[in-house]
Structure 1
Amino acid sequence: MPSYTVTVATGCQWFAGTDDYIYVTLVGTERCSERTLLDKALYNDFERGAVDSYDVRVGEDLGDIVLVKIEKNKYWVQDDWYCRYITVKTPSGEYLEFPCFRWLVDNKEVVLRDGRAHLPQDDKTSLVKQHRLKELDSRRKSFRQVHSARARVVLCVTEGRGCSLITSAALYRWKEWQPGFPMSIDANRHNELPRDIQFDSEKGVDFVLNYSKAIENLCINQFMHMFQSSWSDFADFERIFVRIKNTISEYVMQHWKEDFMFGYQFLNGCNPVLIQKCTKLPDKFPVTHEMVSVSLERELTLEQEIEAGNIYIVDYEVLDGITANCTDPCTLQYLAAPICLLYKNVRKKIMPIAIQLDQTPGKDNPIFLPTDEQYDWLLAKIWVRSADFQYHQNITHLLRTHLMTEVFAVAMYRQLPAVHPVYKLLIPHIRFTIAINTKAREQLICECGIFDKANATGGGGHVQLIQKAVKSLTYRSLCFPDMIKSRGVDDQEELPTYFYRDDGYKVWEATKSFVSDVVCIYYTSDEMVQGDEEIQAFIKDVCSFGMQDFDHCAFPKSLKSREELTEFLTVAVFTASAQHAAVNFGQYDWCSWIPNAPSTMRKPPPNQKGLANVNLIIESLPDRGRSSWHLGAVWALSQYQENELYLGMYPDEHFTEKPVKAAMEKFRKQLAEINSSIKRRNEGKKLPYYNMSPDQIPNSVAV
């Protein structure tokens, strides 16, 4: 009697094992095996991290094994199980791999294809065609039960073989969380999500718990009872800063008042995406040569400096008209929409030379200059830093990495079956993204959420801000080289210390090369891309549903070539990995010294010069309580996940083909070379830049 050896690997994460009954059915081209209980009787099967083997005996040869069905039935109480993979050894000695990497919950059943990736046009038999169609159908369509959002969809594949394949899945459906936002998943709470995309432990990503823990770890809970009281002076801020310091944060504390530090952050701080070359002064910012001549070092007029490419500008126009936080009626909070003019001096350092705190010029909106009184100039810079913090948190970080990656993730689950090569490529890079975003909507950015406690754009201003920012979010602005070039900052000789740009170019090119290698393995011509109905549906879902077909966004609705597909997938992978890392993990470095990144301001922007002093600045900066919440927040957001997976690390083998594994190894070598070059450059630097170092770039947006 022929016998197949079935090996089952259980996951290593907490609670991955199960005591439930596990059954397997092998589906071949000729016939199916009997439904077989996997049980060694004397052993405790399917423990966490276990790899167990079983014999499945059949009366006749099954033909080529094309599917494996796994069933889980309750033993005593419902006991979820995480299956990593199944391997099957045939009577002829052939080994077949069936990746799973998913949870089986309740009496769930899954049907697995072998580990080779297949385009839809590759599948010829109705058996496998129906399998991929029903897998997608089960993700997109379901009915809701009272106790959960889970769904059950029956997939019957008979083809005269007597096989009844039943699978169940949870819902992946679009939902508009706020008008004008990119779409997100239709779930209000983390525990409503499909089990496969939830965190292994929800406790580890509880924002309230983590922020409270951060405040306790930083020893700043002692200040919470004095929530609305001001600090005494700048040195007083050190009382909540001394617990955890690092090279950069301490350097920022020591030099934050200096103009070179102010300018440097536009290049390599945690929001290095706004600086652009100034080719013409806007009418709303009437800076004259006489105002700034003292700051210019080349004996050129301001107009000549602009023509020479030495003048840069940062404009926070999107903040104009945003409602400041008023959730606490006892404390007024304020926002500004500054414009800042920057000068590249003869040492090629970026220095601020003029600041206007409102978009409309006039007598009550003076242009502040380095030649003004010390505290007038310092307060103007603080207002820019506060505006930069609002822009960074809401637009650069939340909108352009978190929310955009969720769009790619939901569309992927809706349109690409697990056997599709692009699903296998993207799945490591959307790991936990939907979960962290759902948790944020549940606790962080919701009405009366944590964001309201310390931020000037809390209380609804953050919603207004993102709604405005979406109108300038385009597909091309997510392509890293295009984004850099559009701002006129692509010349390395002109800005030799723009490390975000230089490292970003390298990581982008390495990522694009890897994506191209994978794409070309499965698509041997442009016509194959055009004929892939699933990939075209994925692209259309991103544009027409995820981005709501906003005309200004200009996302493609279809792809015509391998080159276009490569670029699109590079955008998805880069946004989820390198771009998020660049703007997230430096938050404690640059924002923990409160005066350098005030989360709110308690006095209105100055409307004339000569009024600022230390007391006014201290009274404008966040009070003790909001400073404490702010510090706890940037510390918590800067922490890596436990057991983090970094760029190039793919321990879950969704791909089994040797050419793809070779492409992965090539990718890792390129990333290692980038690591080495960044390490060499950083040696001896007082301000090392490592936010784009691949060994510190997680695969996905998970925090």
Structure 2
Amino acid sequence: MSLDIYVPRDEQFGHLKMSDFLTFSLKFTVQSLFPAFKALFDNTPNEFDSFEDVLELYEGGIKLPEGPLLKALIDSIPLEILKDVFHSDGEGLFKFPTPQVIQEDKTAWSTDEEFGREMLAGINPVLITRLQEFPPKSNLDPNIYGNQNSTITRAQIEDKLDGLTVDEAIKANMLFILNHHDIVMPYWRRINVTTNTKTYASRTLLFLQDNGTLKPLAIELSLPHPDGDQFGTVSKVYTPSDQGVESSIWQLAKAYAVVNDSGIHELVSHWLNTHAVIEPFVIATNRQLSVLHPIHKLLLPHFRDTMNINALARQLLINSDGIIELTFFPSKYSMEMSAVAYKDWIFPEQALPADLMKRGVAVEDLNYPHDIRFLIQDYPYAVDGLKVWSAIKSWVTEYCNFYYKSDDTVQKDSELQVWWKELREEGHGDKKDEPWWSKMQTRQELIESCTITIWIASALHAAVNFGQYPYAGYLVNRPSLSRMFMPEPGSPEYEELKTNPDKVFLKTTVPPLQTLLEISVLEVLSTHASDTLYLGQRDSPEWTKDQEPILDFERVGKKLSDIEDQIMQMNSDHQKWKNRSGPAKIPYTLLFPTSEEGLTGKGIPNSINI
């Protein structure tokens, strides 16, 4: 069970946490299940033939092949663990829990409404932006990549804008885009030429309807010009259809867009923007702030287990030839893509209000709660997130104002100043010269910095992590790689699309071996341990001897409890808030502060501990 990567002793798993369960289950999946799955598909046809085949993983189970590998596998694992953790009967039959996205309706995932809703309430609700110019433009250097601007035309979408022109829809804040083009295109040749991936760079345009839902208008799939990057792109635009082969083409277009979104979610929204960026805060806090320091006491619960889980991830998930490279479209370029995305990471923009305004989905308005007006009113991640953000900030404000009576006390706190200096210049050393770092000279700078840190470590991570199995456990809904390009008229694949569209979809996006491996890991990563402490909870009621911060903390706990009541109330109003459950009937609970143990699709742990 020991890790090969060094973790300081006081950062190692040391409590129930099911630390043994976590380490064991991940290692078991990678080192035991993976070769067993591989052996299975070495002896049987290597494809799913129908959606029913995929559903059988949950409703019937999958039988591993008889032989010495299976016997060694079963003999090495206590039956109780096989049953409880890996859903096995102890004789080689493995059965996965049914993901939420198909619990109520097995086909709702395929609707355009659910496709749009998951951009606001799914596992990656942090990328959608308001479209402010048409056609969408690229920020890639034209001297290197040529013309990368969108080829979507007004004629292709204006008949779907409820009588508006494109310019009128933009002015009314009704056009939005999920844009994966610029991050994918520079890697396209390496990914598609040197790996088994066959994918596109995508842009998806959506229209905000009067009922609050997003209607997809067009998906643009782009390839670099065959004569060289400097000649720009070769792009095709696909629009919605529910008739004949065109409807199957549209389903594939949505799948290619989701493949982009799945990889960027895992590598940027999840790993980079939560796990990776918070680790320097953990190290600097332990190195430079005394355990008696008030900021150490404030932040410590939000760093629990993070270094250990990151070390485990580096060993088993994001390592070379690891699970991420095997199951997501960037393949062996995954970590490079994540590292390049870090160049655009800006600490102050991780504050939820700043993020929402940067993406154009909200504007500052002092007449609205929290001084923010949403341009998509029914945006569950933003609505619930802003309430949680406000609760965190009110707690941090009261806490910091108790210990720091003036800006002068911030400036004269030598430990605090050395902590901030190390964090910027060593922890985030690549960013040390960026002008956006605060000077840490005022109470307001201290409050904002601590609030952002706690937000990243708790709510932001919860929003992009604990929905992974509920949504992507059914990989048909969230494919993470594609193995064929869009079928062209006249090709055998196009003819097969006419007669058996489900099989073509599955051959393109859902390889059985990678599917089994990925959903096995996603289940582990989406599960709460028995000893998880959630936002508003501490492991000891006497974490400080100062009574006022304890009373303030009790008040924030009450605020979070009220937020839970509000979430439940909104989730029950299906007529007013259509995006809170949608066609798949999954109530939005990813920012519901507390949870029970297990695979619940809700709960905000204090820290990144899974």
TM over 0.5: yes
Q: How far apart, in 2, do the equivalents of 1:690 and 1:390 lie?
A: 23
Alignment of 1:680 with 2:569, yes or no, is yes
Which structure 2 residue ranges, 5 or more long, are not aligned?
60-95, 138-148, 226-231, 364-372, 575-584, 595-602
Alignment of 1:640 with 2:528, yes or no, is yes
Matched-pair identity in %: 28
Q: Report the structure number with the largest CA radius of gyration.
A: 1
Matches within 5 A, 1:559-598: 559-598=440-479
Alignment of 1:698 with 2:605, yes or no, is yes
More helix by share: 2
What do the CA deviations read for 1:153-198 (whole angstroms, capped 9, x no partner)? xxxxxxxxxxxxxxxxxxxxxxxxxxxxxxxxxxx94673222110
Secondary structure (helix, strand or coil) at the match of 1:594 reads coil
Alignment of 1:630 with 2:495, yes or no, is no
Q: In the superposition, relative to structure 1, how do residues 698 and 665 fare at CA in structure 2: closer, same or farther (>3 Å)?
A: same
Alignment of 1:534 with 2:426, yes or no, is no
Contact 1:325 1:333 in 2 (8 A): no
Alignment of 1:430 with 2:268, yes or no, is no
Tell me which of 348, 354, 373 is aligned to 2:212. 348
Who is 2:9 aligned against?
195
Q: How far apart, in 2, do the equivalents of 1:626 and 1:535 lie?
A: 47
Matches within 5 A, 1:166-565: 189=3, 192-200=6-14, 202-206=19-23, 209=26, 212=29, 224-225=41-42, 229-242=46-59, 243-251=96-104, 253-281=106-134, 282-283=136-137, 284-297=149-162, 299-316=163-180, 317-322=182-187, 332-358=196-222, 364-371=234-241, 373-459=246-332, 461-490=333-362, 494-550=375-431, 554-556=435-437, 558-565=439-446
Q: How far apart, in 1, do the equivalents of 2:105 and 2:360 lie?
A: 27
Tell me which of 653, 656, 665 is aligned to 2:545. 656
Contact 2:220 2:238 in 1 (8 A): yes
Question: 1:325 offset after TM fit, Å?
Answer: 9.1
Q: In the superposition, relative to structure 1, how do residues 571 and 250 fare at CA in structure 2: closer, same or farther (>3 Å)?
A: same
More strand by share: 1
Q: TM-score by structure 2 length?
A: 0.78
Q: How far apart, in 1, do the equivalents of 2:323 and 2:25 lie?
A: 7
Give the superposed CA RMSD.
3.0
Matched letter for residue 288 of structure 1: T
Matched letter for residue 270 of structure 1: I
Question: 1:589 offset after TM fit, Å?
Answer: 1.3
Q: In the superposition, relative to structure 1, how do residues 378 and 551 fare at CA in structure 2: closer, same or farther (>3 Å)?
A: farther
Q: In the superposition, relative to structure 1, how do residues 684 and 574 fare at CA in structure 2: closer, same or farther (>3 Å)?
A: same
Secondary structure (helix, strand or coil) at the match of 2:319 reads coil
Question: 1:617 offset after TM fit, Å?
Answer: 2.3
Q: In the superposition, relative to structure 1, how do residues 494 and 558 fare at CA in structure 2: closer, same or farther (>3 Å)?
A: closer
Q: In the superposition, relative to structure 1, how do residues 481 and 678 fare at CA in structure 2: closer, same or farther (>3 Å)?
A: same
Contact 1:224 1:628 in 2 (8 A): no
Q: How far apart, in 2, do the equivalents of 1:457 and 1:208 lie?
A: 25
Q: How far apart, in 2, do the equivalents of 1:228 and 1:551 lie?
A: 53
Q: How far apart, in 1, do the equivalents of 2:24 and 2:486 lie?
A: 32
Which structure 1 residue ranges, 5 or more long, are not aligned?
1-187
Q: Does 1 or 2 have the higher relative contact order (CA < 8 Å, sep 6+)?
A: 2
Matched letter for residue 702 of structure 1: N
What do the CA deviations read for 1:4-30 (whole angstroms, capped 9, x no partner)? xxxxxxxxxxxxxxxxxxxxxxxxxxx
Secondary structure (helix, strand or coil) at the match of 1:352 reads strand
Contact 1:220 1:240 in 2 (8 A): no
Q: How far apart, in 2, do the equivalents of 1:324 and 1:251 lie?
A: 40
Q: How far apart, in 2, do the equivalents of 1:448 and 1:421 lie?
A: 43
Q: How far apart, in 2, do the equivalents of 1:417 and 1:354 lie?
A: 55
Question: 1:358 offset after TM fit, Å?
Answer: 1.8
Question: 1:258 offset after TM fit, Å?
Answer: 1.0
Q: How far apart, in 2, do the equivalents of 1:368 and 1:323 lie?
A: 20
Tell me which of 529, 554, 566 is aligned to 1:665. 554
Secondary structure (helix, strand or coil) at the match of 1:511 reads helix
Secondary structure (helix, strand or coil) at the match of 1:412 reads helix
Question: 1:687 offset after TM fit, Å?
Answer: 2.9
Contact 2:26 2:524 in 1 (8 A): no
Contact 1:227 1:626 in 2 (8 A): no
Contact 1:366 1:607 in 2 (8 A): no
